[in-house]
Amino acid sequence: MRRASVSLFPIAAAIVLSLPPAAVRAADPGPSEAQKAAEASARSWLALVDAGKYGESWDEAAAPFRSALSREQWIQALEKVRRPLGKALSRKLRAAHEATEIPNAPRGEYVVIQYDTDFADRSGAVETITPMKDPDGRWRVSGYYIK
């Protein structure tokens, strides 16, 4: 059974590649409303981090984020890890996907977003930022990781 599904993939890919571009675009529904809202929240939050407003980024983060470490610990962590990278020069969306379960986090509505980011002192970084939908309906960042 597994072998059949693997052998069908090239056929499906060939069919998609032979479709006119308009047909391919019509089949792609684009990002969901949750993804759009989460990405807007992520970009707003990243603007604080990019501006060196580390304390304000902690203030704007989701409750589980704030309970995981103090404001001072967050500021110290970003001073050590983020500041040496320099100014963010470009940030391009790599991927975004919705999830209801994230390791070491409560069940909820999450969007895991990855950006390909070039910093002044490091190009080719991947930022992973995870907004979650808070009980008040707002999307707030619950996780941030740079690789």
**Residue 44 covered by a domain:** yes
Instruction: Kindly report the CATH number assigned to the domain that includes residue 51.
Output: 3.10.450.100
pTM over cut 0.75: yes
| CB atoms near residue 47 (< 10 Å) | 13
Q: Establish if 96 belongs to a structural domain.
A: yes
Domain range enclosing 110: 29-146
Residue 41 lies in a domain: yes
Structural domain total, the chain: 1
Cβ neighbours, 10 Å, residue 1:
4
| Nearby residues of 69 by Cβ (< 8 Å), 6 or more positions away | 77
- Tens of pLDDT along the chain (147 residues) come to 333 322 222 222 222 333 334 433 444 567 889 999 999 999 999 999 999 999 999 999 999 999 999 999 999 999 999 999 999 999 999 999 999 988 888 899 999 999 999 999 999 999 999 999 999 999 999 999 999
